Structure 1
Amino acid sequence: MADDLLIDGSFKIVGVKRRRVHEPVADQIRQAIFRGLIAPGHKLPPEREMAEQFQTSRVALREALRALEKEGLITIKRGAGGGAFVADFDNALNALAESLNTVVKLGSAKSANLTEMRSILEPEITRLATSRATPEDLLAIEAIVIAQEKELEGGELSRKLDMDFHRCVAEAAHNPVMNIVVNAVNQSIRDSILRSKRTQEMRTRVVQYHRDIFEAVRSGDADLAKRVMSSHVVDVQCHLETSDHE
């Protein structure tokens, strides 16, 4: 059998000489994903076919796929139409968030550590957003702020909209690396936010902060946007610390 083989004509693979060794298999698929040779959403061939092409056992192949799934690089779907698929941004983000959550649950990091990271990243991301936000970005952020203001009038404030606001601001900075990190951190702190008891006063402050941040970003006032976001993150952390002691 030839040394160089193809999976769906997408990228070359090299047969694994030692059976039941999954690392070389995982590494070849990993590198193909990183090099853009197989795109997000691409379905990998069936296990039997890949095992034959990699010249390894199906057991080793499954171990390789499980390792890649744990890394967030692929998703494995069961049932009809299932199989191994190259992951997209959301899957990679969830994998990173789960890793952070594990660190937090093991006691190696506290919500205060995550907020400290937010206080470093989010103000800078907001500053970048003032010069990089597109008209579509501004419309998306404004729509969330308006929705929150309407909710507040009815005495409610969706936690989802709160998370969506920070996600949209991060996306408006158009730095995918910072975007992934800050969203993963925000997802990891989500449990603490959901457990916290928010008074009407706290809800009002959150919405006002979001409105002020949006207006600063829209006006292009980078320094103001950065300061307001910094104050907002600190205010939320003070609230979480108070809730934890109640």
Structure 2
Amino acid sequence: MSIAQTIADEIGRRIIRGDLEPGQQALVENDLVTEFGASRNIVREAVKTLAAKNLIRSQRRNGTFVELPEKWNLLDPQVLTWMLSEDNTRDALLTSLSEMRRIFEPEAAALAAERASPRQVLEILECYDSMEKYANDPKRAIEFDVRFHGAVLEACGNPLLRSFNESISMLLRANFNLSIQVDNAFIRNLEEHRIIAEAIRGGDPDRARAASIELLSKNENDIKKMHAMELER
């Protein structure tokens, strides 16, 4: 990681944590040069990085200010990494993910059943087979679960949805790391994955959609149980 990236990472995390509040004058160039022992050019590069993520905005002659959370680029992988690492932003982010998945995943599965190429069908089936094979190996199981959903998104044939794949995969990985801890959730959810895969192979959009809705409902319940368990600790 370069010095500019290190500075951007540190300041980004401060903003996400709430150490720097929206509207607050956040970045004084001289202060950053002193704090990080970096040149002005490097500090400016870090500031540009944060501005590109919509975490800050620069006002001519007035300085640099923290943006409102509603303006943050939540599809930026680095912003997601920062938010997932903080308890005060992680839970709300994953709740929003559940809502977003309900909006697009069932229809993406249905479209995949209509549009998937033989190669894409094979990839989805192979991901499912690996999920089943590694059901008792959480790390590998989660990885193939993420790949399964990514493969379905690719197979739906919608370029806008496919463009979300990297960001959605990061969020799914965090989601599954939580939900897998609840009552053998991964093994319980294999059946819906199997049905989705078979429906896509068989060109049955209605069955793919219904199984996806059922899977999302179970995942939401598992996340709620996980939050309840955390509160009891």
Whether 2:48 is the aligned partner of 1:67: answer yes
The residue correspondences of 1:88-167 to structure 2 (distance < 5 A) are 96-100=76-80, 102=82, 105=86, 107=89, 109-152=92-135, 155-157=136-138, 158-167=141-150
- Measured in 1, the distance between the counterparts of 2:118 and 2:74 equals 28
Q: Tell me the alpha carbon deviations over residues 122-172 of structure 1, each in whole angstroms, 9 at most, x when there is no partner.
A: 1111111111111110111111111122223xx334111111110111011
- Measured in 2, the distance between the counterparts of 1:150 and 1:187 equals 22
The residue correspondences of 1:1-246 to structure 2 (distance < 5 A) are 63=44, 67=48, 71=52, 96-100=76-80, 102=82, 105=86, 107=89, 109-152=92-135, 155-157=136-138, 158-181=141-164, 183-196=166-179, 197-200=181-184, 202-246=185-229
1:96 is aligned with what amino acid? Answer: D
- Cα 1:107–1:215 change in 2 (3 A) is same
Task: Please state how far the C-alpha of 1:70 moved relative to its aligned partner.
Answer: 7.2
- Cα 1:194–1:225 change in 2 (3 A) is same
Task: Please state how far the C-alpha of 1:98 moved relative to its aligned partner.
Answer: 3.3
Q: CA RMSD in A?
A: 3.1
- Cα 1:149–1:188 change in 2 (3 A) is closer
- Measured in 2, the distance between the counterparts of 1:188 and 1:218 equals 26
* The structure with more helix, counted as a fraction of residues: 2
Contact 1:100 1:185 in 2 (8 A): no
TM-score, with length taken from structure 2: 0.60
- Measured in 2, the distance between the counterparts of 1:175 and 1:70 equals 29
- Cα 1:192–1:145 change in 2 (3 A) is closer
Larger Rg: 1
Q: Tell me the alpha carbon deviations over residues 161-207 of structure 1, each in whole angstroms, 9 at most, x when there is no partner.
A: 1111101110111222212335523422532431341433x222222
TM-score, with length taken from structure 1: 0.57
Q: Which runs of 4+ in 1 moved over 6 A?
A: 58-62
- Measured in 2, the distance between the counterparts of 1:116 and 1:94 equals 15
- Measured in 2, the distance between the counterparts of 1:212 and 1:164 equals 16
Indicate the residue corresponding to 2:3 in structure 1: none
Contact 2:199 2:207 in 1 (8 A): yes
Q: Secondary structure at the match of 1:245?
A: helix
Q: Tell me the alpha carbon deviations over residues 199-239 of structure 1, each in whole angstroms, 9 at most, x when there is no partner.
A: 33x22222211111000111111111111111111211110
- Measured in 2, the distance between the counterparts of 1:137 and 1:70 equals 38
1:143 is aligned with what amino acid? Answer: E
1:98 is aligned with what amino acid? Answer: Q
